[in-house]
Amino acid sequence: MHSPVRVGLMGLGTVGSGVVEIMAKHAEQLAHRSGGPIEISRILVRDASKTRSVPVALERITTDAGEILDDPSIDIVVELIGCPGGRVEPARSYIAGALERGKHVVTANKDVIAKHGRELIQLAREHRVGLYFEAAVAGGIPIIKSIKEALVANEVQAIMGIINGTTNYMLTKMAHEGRPFEEVLREAQEMGYAEADPTSDVEGHDAAYKLAILASLAFETPVAVDDVYREGITRVTPEDMAYADELGYVIKLLAIAKAHEETIEARVHPTMVPKEHPLAAVNDVFNAIFIEGDAVGELMFYGRGAGKLPTGSAVVADIVEAAQNIRRGVDGRLGGAVREKRVLSPLEVVSSYYVHAKVVDSPGVLAQIAKAFGDHEVSISSVIQKGRGEDPVSLVFVTHKVLERNMQAALKQIAALPVVRSVANVIRVEGE
């Protein structure tokens, strides 16, 4: 047996506790699988007096990051402090500091990797160490390793993912129980899925961070978080859910990235997906990522995108891989951008659309709206009218694929028609 590989754990919250629990429970197997023991020798927390949910020796706890970063016996730093209040510091500096000192780093921090991944990968390369971040995207689902290793023979052409569990739980409840957004948000908060400030989840920021990481890796081109077009789920109503059902769709918050010859697209928005598409069956807090590769065809990864043990599972897998690489004396596979593809603006993207307009109920209204669509080369695939004699009534359209620039021009013309009270919602349709 080799001497132990030593880990400095930063953060002992939800995920940190899961890591300690898994490493204690499977110590023997993990030692066998990584070629020798792995030991957590120091743990950084904010408040050393807190009672912990897992047994840890008090003398291992510290509130001084230097006791990990400057300890030459520590081989791997595991950063699980996150970004409280949305701030990347001090997590970014701790990761960079560890890499500069020749330590391998494992992190679950999507914010830091999405915003600073490129420079951190470069730093790891310069110092000949590994930077591992499997848990940063889709918790327990091994999607990063799959893209970097198992799918290495492919050009990845498209990724469509449900990569935010909180919003998937809320949309599932809205669809199955006909309840409004505010009510299911309160329930998600009571269940501990949604944060007290749910903005990051419901406005799609969390999914945009994860998509930026996935698209950068899959397409080997830098994709910044600001390159990802983003719409949250706050405007989805039970009425839209009911129309989706009638038209043969379900509404999901999808993270979509597609590769073209010279460009890519990356977007997060509520999306109508045909009921027979594999992503339509992904409910509650579950995550799933649907990938198309040129050699392998279509694949789907499904599992838990968050939680103590699922996320801990991904972190521990990274720790074991880092330990194996340390024992073999190799740096670890880093990947990174090898080409620069332009990210399309939303107006340059092609999609089908669901359009829900509130209109005056009188003869000729449908013809006026159809003409506005026709003027901008938007072709209609189906129409529903509900209500009679009320003001307003709902007119619902699904279009064929069209350039968003044309769609926006048509919508502007429709909204200006005197017979149209409002365009209540517009939702993209994918996966047909």
Question: Does residue 307 interact with ligand NAP by CB under 6 A?
Answer: yes
Q: How far separated are the first and last CA of the chain, in Å rounded? A: 54
Catalytic residue (choose from 103, 115, 210, 252): 210
Name which of ligand HSE, ligand NAP, none residue 82 binds, using a CB cut-off of 5 to 8 Å depending on partner kind.
ligand NAP
Active-site residue flag, 103: no
Helix 27-34 and helix 308-328, axial crossing angle in degrees, nearest 10:
40
Name which of ligand HSE, ligand NAP, none residue 165 binds, using a CB cut-off of 5 to 8 Å depending on partner kind.
ligand HSE
Q: Count the alpha carbons within 13 Å of 313 in the hemisphere toward its beta carbon.
A: 14
Question: In this complex, which beta carbon is closest to ligand HSE, that of residue 123 or of residue 279?
Answer: 279
- # chain residues binding ligand NAP, by CB under 6 A: 24
Name which of ligand NAP, ligand HSE, none residue 164 binds, using a CB cut-off of 5 to 8 Å depending on partner kind.
ligand HSE
Task: List the x/- string, 87-106, binding to ligand NAP by CB under 6 A.
Answer: ---x----------------
Comparing CA positions, the residue from 104, 135, 79, 58 lying closest to residue 309 is: 135
Cα angle 216-217-221, degrees, rounded to a multiple of 5: 45
Q: Which residues contact 128 (CB under 8 A, 6 or more apart)?
A: 102, 331
Read off φ and ψ for residue 123, nearest 5 degrees.
-65, -45
Give the Cβ contact number of residue 103 at 10 Å. 26
Question: In this complex, which beta carbon is closest to ligand HSE, that of residue 144 or of residue 414?
Answer: 144
Residue 403 β-bridge partners: 350
Choices 13-21, 263-271, 346-354, 386-394; region in contact with ligand NAP by CB under 6 A: 13-21
Report residue 384 as tokens. 């529903």
Question: Does residue 305 interact with ligand HSE by CB under 6 A?
Answer: yes
User: Cα–chain-centroid distance for residue 267?
Assistant: 11
Question: Does residue 261 interact with ligand NAP by CB under 6 A?
Answer: no
Q: What is the length of the chain?
A: 432
Shortest spacing between CB 85 and ligand NAP, in angstroms? 10
Shortest spacing between CB 175 and ligand HSE, in angstroms? 17
Judged by CB under 6 A, the chain residues 309 through 348 that form the site for ligand HSE are none
Q: Which residues bind ligand HSE (CB under 6 A)?
A: 164-166, 201, 206, 305-306
- Known catalytic residues are 210
